[in-house]
Chain A
Amino acid sequence: MPFVPAATLPVGHRGHPRPPLWPRLAILALATLVVLPLAVILFSFSDPQADTWAHFGEFVLPRLLLNTLWLLLGVGAGTALLGVSLAWLTAVCEFPGRRWLSWGLLLPLAVPGYVLGFVMIGLLDYTGPLQTGLRDIFGAAPEIPIRSRGGVIAVMALTLYPYVYLVARNAFLTQGRRVLEAAQTLGLSRVQGFFRVALPMARPWIAGGLALVLMETLADFGTVAVFNYDTFTTAIYRAWFGMFNLSAASQLASLLVVLVFIALALEQRSRHGQRFAQGGRGDAGQRIVLGPRARWLAALWCGLVFAVAVAVPLAQLLAWAWHSRGDLDARYLGFLYHSLLLAGSGALVVTTMGLVLAYALRSRPGRLATFAGRLSILGYALPGTVLAVGFYLPMSGLDNLWIALGKHFGMAWGPLLGGTLVAMLLAYAVRFLAVGYHPVEAALHRVTANMDEAARSLGSGSRDVLARVHLPLLRGGIATALILVFVDIMKEMPITLMTRPFGWDTLAIRVFEMTSEGEWQRAALPALTLVVAGLVPVLLLMRSSDRELSHAA
């Protein structure tokens, strides 16, 4: 693609004789990339294997659907309850420990669901330290049914609630306590004010956060795999590796995509609501000072969530990792190396794509921008298992064609596209484009069209404008994009699991293999590494929203 920096273009001005072609090409290429896997999995229906479907229809599908629906319902309700209650307490009320808890409660973002899952099982299972300890003291202990539907739901709610917490907290902070005071002057009690004013005002944002939670729940593979809880993602994986039934895997994937589209529709609707429910300017005002008992209850509730979601699992991981510190060997370094290599190259690919897309939209703003934004969100919503199937099939098809062609000419041609590595990178790109695009786009937004023209009127050519104005201003956004995508790919499980070339085991794969054998201790060291890496973007997030709020104040 001919990459023409936007600085050479008359930015955003109508009526110049020939608008450049490359932005459209860039967006077309992106659209192809997102649509390709969808087309591939839908195409699988043209080859129905009747017997497989009969089997599916009778035994597997109803259970998968029921399991998935329960999971969506449970995780949705759980994250809403946790997210909204914690957000309200930390945003509007005053209680001991509020200041650091309001940030601490974001930390679960750093703990992948599959990590919290295996820690909880290891901790609470019959053979785990809690039950054995209780038995040692009392001779008997109540059984904790952690390996159950309730267990998965609890674990996923505890890892995903920050999506709701973050947006609800922002909504409560920006709508200000003014609104609540207004409600009180109109005769509503505080509780009534919360339910009749604050909550409805924050609803579009909460719905947006919930939609993200539902997408993550649908996409999740690692957590449900740890619990042996069958959903579409695990079924796709088993059809793929257990039965080598590619069309069954694709057909399952297309059903999963239907569910994803429902969640997406919800997300789009919530965006619509946000436009009309613009909160006023963030207005500090007075926090609600809770009564002597209520303030300790509030601190207890927030502290409990923090302990269960962050402190206890982290302590347990540390203990296990110390116990199995002998694993810190050449093999571990191999996993780490593969993780860093994949995450690094993936981050480069995704950030470059994000940069091209951001420039494309800058030179051709308007409806295209909305379209591209939707595309990137669609890519983010597609579960890794779906993308893995959707990219693996055409890539391996191309490879087979190539090898057959080689045979035809009497040559032993190797795989054309480096085996499945390309499929893996493309799948990463589609999955995480939204993650890499947004920081870059936000940074580019700061470079106004007038700045380009100012630089030009001061004697700068287009390359000079790029080097002296754009690059310095984009640096932070590019770095953020790289870091966010890097860490997301490090934690990513299904795409890596299903498309990695032979022998390319990463930290996440190691965690998957150890946990599927119930070796919690040996999973701890790679898991801990992932959690530490996951802390970086959370810290970035805290810093940026801190800055935002202090700007608003």
Chain B
Amino acid sequence: MQLDIRDIAVAFAGDTILDGLTLALEPGEIGCLLGASGCGKTTALRAVAGFEPLVRGQISAGSQQLSRPGWTLPPQRRRVGMVFQDYALFPHLSAAANIAFGLRGQPARERRQRVAAMLDLVGLEAVAHHFPHQLSGGQQQRVAVARALAPDPAVLLMDEPFSNLDVELRERLSLEVRAILKKAGTTALIVTHDQHEAFAIADRIGLMNAGRIEQLDTPYNLYHYPVSRLVARFIGQGVMVPGVIAASGEISTPLGMLAPRTPAQPGSRVDVLLRPDDIVHDDASPTTARVVSKTFRGASILYAVELPCGTRLLALVGSHHNHALGEAIGIRLEAHHVVAFPAP
């Protein structure tokens, strides 16, 4: 079902936590709120779940209104499922009984079928009768997802769903959960502070800052076409290189001329965002830079290099190009997405 969050504001005792957040998800779409801690992303989730009242704006799912100022449909009546950061599994109930928790009121036979279908969906038939403390972290997480999906919610919410898991498990599980959600066709809204998690699971990501969404876009666009310095800084790595708009309309930088995506006033100063993968190591290149530091990453090495003019860059280079600190290496610019911000 469609989720529509329109210009909402939430305040606690005079503190405005959310201020004008707007987000719409298509049926079956997986959205993600990404941001540093304290940006209000969890509050947004709790507002959708019905745990926080609105001061302004409205939230609706499909044709049903869920929240507006002065009126909040109680959580138990809004058909919004939620997966908590600590999973909040009921320790006195088995995995199957946890999944069946929200199915009260249905005939026993349907309930059993639904639980079986959910166990099958998350691949936990074998441990259906285990209790939460007997399950691994990943299994607990999948029980939590199944439990939230069992009553067929209009929207599924997930609060930092992978933060309690090992780094290796995280990526695998976020792909797995994405597959489960897509198979169930559920509209989902996920909150995380980890961009890799967001990239892996979401169709669209809303980067949050100070109670509102700074940019709502696909992972690809968020990385390559950030709309502000804030987004550019938060997502991925990179450096800002100063440049000047030449008479030709191109941007003149220490690395050469670049074509801007949007025309700008000749003579104005800009900062160009250069990602580590925009800088290519090329021994034949006339431009050289001195290696300042390096981080070995297995398949590649991340070099920080310094141009003779003092500008620092990051370059991602294949791992067999092993250079010593202080060595001058040839570099070349190969930017397909030129993003420039007016200089402050």
Contacts and interface: CB of A to CB of B under 8 A. Distances in A.
Nearest to B17: A15
Given A457-B81, A459-B76, A15 B15 contact: yes
A98 interface: no
B76 A454 contact: no
Contacts of B80: 457
A457 B15 contact: no
Contact of A451 (B75, B90, B148): B90
B86 A456 contact: no
A351 to B, nearest CB: 20
A459 B76 CA distance: 4
Contact of B84 (A454, A459, A460, A473): A454
A14 to B, nearest CB: 6
Given A14-B12, A468-B101, A457 B148 contact: yes
B77 A459 contact: yes
B286 interface: no
- Of the listed residues A14, A456, A464, the one surrounded by the most CB atoms of chain B closer than 10 A to its CB is A456
Contacts of B90: 451, 454-455, 469, 473
B86 A459 contact: no
B91 A453 contact: no
A370 interface: no
Given A15-B13, A451-B88, A451-B90, A10 B102 contact: no
B88 A14 contact: no
B214 to A, nearest CB: 25
Contact of A450 (B75, B84, B101, B157): B84
Interface in B119-176: 147-148, 151, 157
A412 B99 CA distance: 64
A451 B101 CA distance: 12
A472 interface: yes
A458 B101 contact: yes
A446 interface: yes
B88 A450 contact: yes
A453 B92 contact: no
Contacts of B88: 448, 450-451, 453-454
Contact of A454 (B12, B74, B82): B82
Contacts of B151: 458-459
Given A15-B15, A459-B76, A461-B76, A473 B92 contact: yes
B76 A456 contact: yes
- Of the listed residues B51, B85, B104, B147, the one surrounded by the most CB atoms of chain A closer than 10 A to its CB is B51
A274 B104 CA distance: 46
Chain A interface, >50% SS class: helix
A453 B92 CA distance: 17
Contacts of A464: 104
- Of the listed residues A13, A458, A459, the one surrounded by the most CB atoms of chain B closer than 10 A to its CB is A458
B334 to A, nearest CB: 48
B91 A457 contact: no
A459 B104 contact: yes
Nearest to A465: B76
A453 B84 contact: yes
A457 B12 contact: no
Interface string B67-82: 0000000111100111
Contact of A14 (B13, B91, B101, B148): B13
B305 interface: no
Given A14-B13, A15-B15, A468-B101, A457 B82 contact: yes
B329 interface: no
B118 interface: no
- Of the listed residues B76, B82, B157, the one surrounded by the most CB atoms of chain A closer than 10 A to its CB is B76
Interface string A324-346: 00000000000000000000000
A468 B11 CA distance: 32
B49 interface: yes
Contacts of B102: 458-460
Interface in B230-266: none
A453 B12 CA distance: 19
Contacts of B11: 15
Interface string B89-105: 01110000000011010
Contacts of B84: 450, 453-454
Given A450-B86, A450-B88, A458 B147 contact: yes
B75 A453 contact: yes
- Of the listed residues A448, A450, A457, the one surrounded by the most CB atoms of chain B closer than 10 A to its CB is A457
Contacts of A459: 76-77, 102, 104, 151
Contact of B86 (A14, A448, A473): A448
B91 A10 contact: no
A458 B90 CA distance: 12
Contacts of B13: 14-15
Contacts of B77: 459
B91 A473 contact: yes
Contacts of A15: 11-13, 15
B159 to A, nearest CB: 9
Contacts of A14: 12-13
A470 to B, nearest CB: 10
Interface in A430-482: 446, 448, 450-451, 453-461, 464, 468-469, 472-473
B86 A460 contact: no
Nearest to B78: A457
A461 B151 CA distance: 15
A460 B92 CA distance: 17
A455 B15 contact: no
Interface in A135-184: none
A460 B77 CA distance: 9
B12 A460 contact: no
A14 B80 CA distance: 23
A475 to B, nearest CB: 9
Interface in A7-22: 10, 13-15
A457 B86 contact: no
Contacts of A451: 88, 90
A454 B148 CA distance: 8
Interface string B291-304: 00000000000000
Interface of A: 10, 13-15, 446, 448, 450-451, 453-461, 464, 468-469, 472-473
Interface of B: 11-13, 15, 49-51, 74-77, 80-82, 84-86, 88, 90-92, 101-102, 104, 147-148, 151, 157
5 contacts: A15-B11, A450-B85, A453-B84, A457-B81, A460-B76
Given A457-B82, A459-B151, A473-B90, 7 more contacts: A14-B13, A15-B11, A448-B88, A457-B75, A458-B81, A459-B77, A461-B76
> Would you list the 7 A-B pairs with minimal beta carbon distance, nearest first?
A15-B12, A458-B102, A450-B88, A454-B88, A456-B75, A457-B82, A15-B13
